[in-house]
A and B are shown apart, each in its own frame.
Chain A
Amino acid sequence: MSPGSDGLLAALLALDRLQARTLLRDVRARSAPLDVIERLVRPALEEIGRRWEAGDCALSQVYMSGRICEELVEELLSETRQDSEPADADPGPQAQAPRLAIAVLEDHHLLGKQIVRTVLRAAGHQVMDYGRQDVDGLVARVREDRIEILLVSTLMLPAALRVRLLTERLCALSPRPRVIVGGAPYRFDDGLWREVGADAVGLSAGEVLPILGRLLEAGS
């Protein structure tokens, strides 16, 4: 982590929105918005994820800090959109970005999905949010939108096990979308993600960023 993102990390863990904003603005004065995200926001969110997984910070901090980041990044990006002419607007990481979607599968718990979506957006990714879906509905949306990477969150064990059916059905699509799973049941059973045929598992929301990096590298 860079010294700047260390400071941001401390501000986020203390849920100090003003301090976080000041830090982002300071760096913004010297660099492009996407640099701010890459050098400050992303490392801080990944570190918060790592700490949560290790038991060194709490979900309330993960959630509240994600909200702060999403809001600040939105502020930052909307300024850029206003500043730049459409012709030379920086298309950002979206230029060669994969088509991403996130959903909760047959579960009534939306917080995990929300946190992952926040992390993705705060790191500058665009992601379609399908909300709560059953297997049929989800396969149809993925096919329609030609999704390349699907993120699935589940909290209850039966829902986590249903991912098996989902990945089987997605195999019929060409190219086959990659599936990243996450949620509490996977944190209590190391082998569950493989068992249900996923391509990767994220044990915290922050992990989604390096996983995406890995999948994209492998795919290119």
Chain B
Amino acid sequence: MNGSTASHGDMTPMQRLLTSLGHQEPDRVPLFLLPVMQGARELGLSIADYFARPERVAEGQLRLRARYRHDCLYTFYYAALETEAWGGTVLYRDDGPPNAGVPVIRRPEDIDQLTAPRVEDSPALLRVLETTRLLAAEAGGEVPIVGVVMSPFSLPVIQMGFGPYLALMHEQPERFERLMRLNEEFCVAWGNAQVAAGANAICYFDPVSSSTIVPRERFLATGFEIARRTLARLQAPAAMHFASGRALKIVDLLPDTGAVAIGVSHHDDLGALKQVCRGRLSLLGNLNGISMRHWTPEQAEAEVKAAIAAAGRGGGFVLGDNHGEIPWQVPDEVLAAVSDAVERWGRYPLDWCRRD
């Protein structure tokens, strides 16, 4: 397929990923580069036009993989796509990701009447499913296709606004619980529709569970239980992604959510995370996408080496950015330098970083 030419003896991206997730060392560290909007640049389209047609996003992902040789195809459009399904609007801009428009839940009482949308009724969600099918047909099982859901616990930030959501969480436990149940039904249906369309894994974005946003005790009483219930019903392995929120304070709890991997922040110590996770939970991360904007190729190489040195040994590690999407402003040369550096320094056994 497009860009999947592996040299003799190399693993396919799927084998590479599965070996690493099985806490074994593959041929090299898998790279989940996760460019998203960059597909529009590849196709010479505006960001809004790019996301308007599923075949464009599929083509964009294939071209990006041909260019950077990373180990997955990513069907993520933008987070606000899910609130579109709930009746919300999306605000585009030319130089960055779209954002959600005004909240669909305007007052907490609205939750009492709220019903979850059906996947098949949402043109936006159907576009993603079509992209997934197109990519699955191309990938032929050799390149993992990663789908995305917002967690039931994080989605309300864009369903109702952050301040009102924090107030709901603290002050109206019953309404909060009702919203969680509705969101769980939606999340499971949406995730499994992507699996049925060909996604091999689901990235479950849950930054509200991160310790940047809620303390450990609240996470245990809320986001943790919600993740456990939701991930158990997804028909594919899931990575719990904190979108660059911190996770070190809760990492001991995370294997019990059922996630096979976690997406971790540049604000966390990757080595310290690895110590807790070794053999139990794979790590995805933790390059700082925002600072990538002004990296030199040498810096890109140094950052890649540092991450591999901290977490690469023994497998259980996928190199990527720390947010799950590369900012629009990051130069293509930096992404190419990241990819080159993984090729150069990511080959197992990682003798260069072995200290005995």
Residue of A nearest to B170 (CB): A64
Q: How far is the CA of A187 from the CA of B211 in the complex (A)?
A: 15
* Contact A60–B163 (Cβ < 8 Å): no
List of A residues within 8 angstroms of B290 by Cβ: 157, 185, 188-189, 192
Q: Considering the chains assembled together, what is the distance between the CA atoms of A161 and B293 in angstroms? A: 11
Please report which residues of chain A, range 151-193, place their CB below 8 angstroms from some CB of chain B when the two chains form the complex.
156-159, 161, 185, 187-189, 191-192
Q: A57 an interface residue at 8 Å Cβ cutoff?
A: yes
Closest to A106 in B: B93
Instruction: Give the chain B neighbours of A63 by CB distance below 8 A.
Output: 163, 166
A157-B327, A188-B290, A189-B290 known; 8 new pairs, CB 8 Å cut-off, are A58-B211, A60-B218, A110-B161, A111-B161, A111-B163, A158-B93, A187-B267, A191-B294
The 5 tightest CB contacts between A and B, nearest first, are A158-B96, A188-B290, A111-B162, A58-B215, A158-B95
With contacts A15-B170, A109-B162, A188-B290 taken as known, whether A60 is within 8 angstroms of B213 at the C-beta atoms is yes
For residue B246, CB closer than 8 A to chain A, the reply is yes
Contacts of B267 in A (CB 8 A): 55, 187
Q: Does A5 contact B (CB under 8 A)?
A: no
Nearest chain A CB to B169 CB, angstrom units: 7
Please give, as numbers and ranges, the residues of chain A lying within 8 Å of B215 by CB-CB distance. 57-58, 60-61
17 A–B pairs (Cβ distance < 8 Å), ordered by A: A58-B212, A58-B214, A60-B169, A60-B170, A60-B213, A108-B100, A108-B101, A110-B161, A157-B290, A157-B293, A157-B328, A157-B329, A158-B96, A187-B267, A188-B244, A189-B291, A189-B293
Chain B positions near chain A (C-beta within 8 angstroms) = 91, 93, 95-97, 99-101, 161-163, 166, 169-170, 211-215, 218, 244, 246, 248-249, 266-267, 288-291, 293-294, 327-329
Chain A 100-116 interface 0/1 with B at a Cβ cutoff of 8 Å (1 = within): 00000000111100100
Cα distance A114–B161 in the bound complex, in angstroms: 12
Return chain B residues, CB-CB under 8 Å to A110: 161, 163
Nearest CB in chain A: distance from B39 CB, A: 18
- The interface residues of chain A lying within 8 Å CB-to-CB of B99 are 108-109, 156
| Interface flag for A59 (CB, 8 Å) | yes
A62 to B328, CA, bound (A): 30
Residues of A within 8 A of B327 (CB): 157
Chain B residues near A111 (CB, 8 Å)? 161-163
CB distance from A108 to the nearest CB of B (A): 5
Q: Tell me the minimal C-beta distance from B324 to chain A in angstroms.
A: 14
- Cα A204 to Cα B215 in complex, Å, equals 17
Q: How far is the CB of A113 from chain B (nearest CB, A)?
A: 10
Inter-subunit contact B266/A60 (CB<8 Å): no
A66: shortest Cβ distance to chain B, in Å? 10
Report which residue of B100, B166, B246 has the largest number of chain A beta carbons within 10 angstroms of its beta carbon.
B166
Kindly state the separation between the CA atoms of A84 and B273 in the bound complex, as whole angstroms: 57
Contact A188 B266 (CB under 8 A): yes
A58 CA / B249 CA spacing, docked (Å): 11
Expressed in whole angstroms, the Cα–Cα distance for A189 and B266 within the complex equals 11
Instruction: State whether A156 and B96 are in contact (beta carbons under 8 Å apart), knowing that A60-B214, A188-B244 are contacts in the complex.
Output: yes
| A58 and B218 in contact, given A108-B91, A114-B163, A156-B97 (Cβ under 8 angstroms) | yes
